[in-house]
Amino acid sequence: MNWKESELKSCPATVYYVPNFITPEEEASILQAVSRTPKPKWTHLTNRRLINYGGIPHPKGMIAESIPAWLGRYVDRINALDVFDQDTKANHVLVNEYLPGQGIMPHLDGPLFYPTITTISCGSHTLLEYFEQSESESLDTSTLVRRRIASLLIEPRSLLVVKDDMYHRYLHAIQERDEDLIDDGVVNLSQLGSEVKLGELLHRETRVSLTIRHVPKTTKMKIKLF
């Protein structure tokens, strides 16, 4: 597949959105594998739970760990697309589980990762929102102001590739809600795998995302975290 033909021209550089990147059978297999993950492997946050595969990223270096075979096949598929530099391959997968009503605050992924992120979604849609953050000053106060620049409707089985300014400059977030209203800020309606109309209200179910990326700094030494 030529993923570069799927660039979203209606938002800042650079986002690619590929619907139906995996099959329904592959999606079911991923969800089943994730559901079998032993409870101690999960990290529980207030708004979701997650699993690190390949190691835990750290400023001093990630101690590289093996990625299980069921997940490795998708890492290999991403690597075959050459979304990173020629000699750079994905070595880390973050599995996030979002229940209806869960989300993630606006943030940047930061310098621990190579500045290209790929995400395969399973189980449910979500609405990924991007914001430009600026500082607003009055006579005696200074506040941060966030302006939404784009929303992306992320379908189950899709692939999202983000790089350039959309990685470095714009914060991304998923609002904590049970349903999403499709408005004119959603920039990828014409490139979806199914028909969704403006004004439609989509109800969330449990979503599992595989964020497949490259951690440049790795180490074989045990890291002291304190």
Q: Is residue 112 part of a domain?
A: yes
Q: Is residue 99 part of a domain?
A: yes
The model's pLDDT over 143-156, given as tens digits with 9 standing for 90+, comes to 788 999 999 999 99
Of residues 203, 160, 216, 209, the one with CA closest to residue 50: 209
The tokens describing 39, both together, are 């409870």
Residue 59 binned pLDDT confidence (cut-offs 50, 70, 90): very high
Predicted confidence (pLDDT) at residue 94 exceeds the cutoff of 60: yes
CATH of the domain at 144: 2.60.120.590
Residue 188's identity, in one-letter code, is: N
Distances in Å between the alpha carbon of 132 and those of 145, 147, 175? 8, 5, 16
Who's near 86: CB < 8 A, 6+ residues apart?
A: none
Predicted confidence (pLDDT) at residue 223 exceeds the cutoff of 70: no
Q: Is residue 9 part of a domain?
A: no
What is the model's pLDDT at position 207?
98
Q: Average pLDDT over the chain, rounded to whole?
A: 93
Indicate the number of domains in the chain.
Answer: 1
CA distance 40 to 4: 39
Predicted confidence (pLDDT) at residue 117 exceeds the cutoff of 60: yes
What is the model's pLDDT at position 134?
82
CA distance 118 to 214: 10
Least confident interval from 93-97, 123-127, 134-138, 196-200: 134-138
Residue 137 binned pLDDT confidence (cut-offs 50, 70, 90): low
Q: CB of 198 within 8 A of CB of 184?
A: yes
Print the domain residue range for 149: 14-216
Question: What's the length of the chain?
Answer: 226
The model's pLDDT over 139-195, given as tens digits with 9 standing for 90+, comes to 566 678 899 999 999 999 999 999 999 999 999 999 999 999 999 999 999 999 999
Who's near 215: CB < 8 A, 6+ residues apart?
A: 54, 55, 57, 62, 91, 92, 112, 113, 114
Q: What is the mean pLDDT of residues 7-11?
A: 95
DSSP state letters, 94-126: EEEEE-TT--EEEE---TTS-SEEEEEEESS-E
What is the model's pLDDT at position 226?
43
Q: Is residue 1 part of a domain?
A: no
